[in-house]
Structure 1
């Protein structure tokens, strides 16, 4: 089952979920997105166990890019 979430800022996602032991942080996908794009406020379709999605700026040998990270609910 899929749901739609709005991409939030990294600080907002961390404030809500960083200290929760039943939540873990991981990459949403392996995509590398345009660093000039504005991602906060956009809707993305994600699986049910994902609680928050946020962009992180990174760079490698090919230059800067944005990667989407998420907080997910751990399986019990």
Structure 2
């Protein structure tokens, strides 16, 4: 089970990513109301868990596992 903060990040990345474009740290910072350094720290944590692929200066994308977890979070929030 992911922490609430992790779930917020996964959901935000899922909602913003497209097939062609990763989600930027500035977009996540604006959506989640946190600083870009805090975003970078969390993205590195999520990457170490295999939930995202992160490239500094390019942004983040969900991995297959990350996408599955994000969809689980979104489904739970709809119930």
Same fold (TM over 0.5): no
| Greater relative CO (CA pairs within 8 A, separation 6+) | 1
Normalising by structure 2, we get a TM-score of 0.29
- Bigger fraction of residues in helix: 2
